[in-house]
Amino acid sequence: MSQSVFLLEAQPEIAVVCANALRMGGFGVSIFGTDSDFVEAVRRQPPELAVIGLSNSGDEGLDILGRLRQLSDCLILLTSAEASESERILGLEQGGDDYLMKPFSARELLSRAKALLRRREWQEDGSPARRQIERCGELCLDVDGKTISLGEKRESLTSSEFSILRRMMRAPTKVFSRDELLQPPYRKRGESHRAIDMHVANLRRKIQTVRPGLNALVAVRGVGYRLKV
């Protein structure tokens, strides 16, 4: 039986493209154009994944997220054309599992949906469910095991690599100076800017091992680094 996805999208042309991509990926998709129809359907039978296109910015646009969380613990992928960094973070803090900015490709939408559901299956499969997992985009950080993963591939991290990446994942798109990345508890005695560059280079290599071609750590000339998800 295919996994169910509820798609809330006010723009019909976008809804059709998204639904077709998800159906090609094997999902059973139901499309909703209004919040009321969407909420009523969730009340009757919650989906495994909800893809919510936010049409308003700020708290008003997140009202639907609060209503959904009262009814279900399904996975939630938020999409928006206009959302500031603070609004994206707020959406994740209020119950969203991932955030995708428009315009996005059908392929990326399908990839994000599959990644979210894989993580849920992995967490529910015995002992890993007790592990503390932090996510940012497609990146999945196992806090207990100090590993980074995308899908089924994992790479172990050193303590310094783990600390640097965890801090960057908690503030996606923020540009971190090398001095910020040296701050406790992200510093070992005697580490320098050159050490930070080395740790970042190692992180890049490990991330590309689990997802070839992914340039997640971007250098900002004269400043430092930012996470691109």
Cα dihedral sign, 188-169-112-67: positive
CA–CA separation, 57 vs 68, rounded Å?
A: 17
Contact (CB, 8 A) for 29 and 87 = no
pLDDT given at position 190: 45
The rounded distance, in Å, linking the Cα atoms of 72 and 86 is 25
- Do 42 and 64 touch, CB atoms closer than 8 A? no
pLDDT at 51: 94
Reading the block at residue 30, the tokens are 């139901």
- Tens-digit pLDDT profile for residues 31-60: 999 888 999 999 888 899 999 998 754 445
The pTM (predicted TM-score) of the whole model is: 0.55
Token digits for 73? 């613990």
Is 123 exposed, middle or buried (CB count within 10 Å of its CB: 0-12, 13-18, 19+)?
middle
Instruction: List, for residues 146-194, the tens digit of each pLDDT value.
Output: 888 876 688 888 878 888 898 898 888 789 998 888 765 444 444 567 7
